[in-house]
Amino acid sequence: MGVVMTKKIVDAVFEGGGVKGIGLVGALSVIEENGYGWGHVAGTSAGAIVASLIAAGYTASELKDVVGTLDYKKFKQITTMDRVPFIGPLLNLFIKRGIYSGDYLETWITQCLAAKGIHTFGQLVIPGEQDPRYRYKLQVITSDISNQYMVVLPHGAKRYGINPDDMPVAQAVRMSMSIPFFFEAVKQKDTYFVDGGILSNFPVWLFDSAGIPAWPTFGFKFIEPEYGQPNKTTNPYDMAKAIFGTMMEAHDKMHVENEDFLRTIAIPTLGVQATDFNLSGQQRDALFQSGRQAAQEFLKTWDFQAYIRQYRMQRNPDYIIKVNKLKKDMVGGEQATATTPVNQDPAVFSTH
């Protein structure tokens, strides 16, 4: 039995982007100002940070204070091994699978979640939710590089002998934030996990299922200044950057449909890179405003009923088959496949 809500409901999927996450917060602030409340949220890397804090109960205004005042330089926390002259970082890279420990990041997100009384995914179970696909308010994407799997947490935790309800939310976010070579990979038994973005940085289709959705999913995606242009490969640095960028983007480009762009808030990055940990206050403010402006432009043309008429009123089995296949290929994603159509009043907060 659905419960009528006074707010418009929207699910959200947040792309990863490192220090650019403040741009997501800017976009969120506009969405909330326009009367939307959050249903289910998901994210990769920096998107996982934002999604986890929303799931914990932070508002966009609170997030601006939390993320906007964060000292990103502390993320580059060195270890004892790093202090060895010349070869320390290389040793850490080969032994720990990353230069920086990532401990500060995990401690910080643990404290932020604890401030809202959130520690494990069991505390993010939606009361009364009977559908296992939507049991948790939060889903986090990470990459199992030992077995070559994209993993959706907490559902996918079962494969690794972890009870999803007992899994610490901060640990899942840390796994998703393990930027390859930069942060140490997270090890669970004999399995290494890194940034979910290397397999899917923007799985905007994660909450999709057959039939007419009860409410929309908004995607929050960063757009680089050179978006749509060929990568430069004139030197080794450009080549490495192009390879990494291809890893992060190619999978999603294959599977994002026109309808996905229609429901996506495209946030210009203003040239800021994911690992620009020396981000100035001026750059933070500019990114925040960039997110706000992007969301304002998006809402000028967004029409949920028009979206439904154009893309969801007509059955599109090929699209649903593709989405379900993508989910089945993800560890934990198989929980999210569906064939039962849904047709509910968008004002009713219930399962999809």
Over residues 80-135, the pLDDT tens digits come to 545 545 554 444 444 455 556 678 889 999 999 999 999 999 999 999 888 888 89
| Res 232 pLDDT > 90 | no
| 19-23, 109-113, 120-124, 325-329: range with lowest mean pLDDT | 325-329
pLDDT at 195: 78
Q: pTM for this structure?
A: 0.80
DSSP state of 309: I
Over residues 284-298, the pLDDT tens digits come to 999 999 999 999 999
Contacts of 317 (CB under 8 A, 6+ apart): none
Tokens 């994002």 correspond to 256
Residue 225: asked if its preceding bond is cis (omega within 30°), the reply is: no
Active site residue 82: no
| Res 165 pLDDT > 90 | yes
Q: Which of 141-155, 286-300, 309-323, 335-349 has the highest mean pLDDT?
A: 286-300
Phi and psi, residue 8, nearest 5°: -75, 135
Question: 155: pLDDT confidence band, cut at 50, 70 and 90?
Answer: very high
Strand 264-268 relative to strand 36-44, pairing? unpaired
Active site residue 45: yes
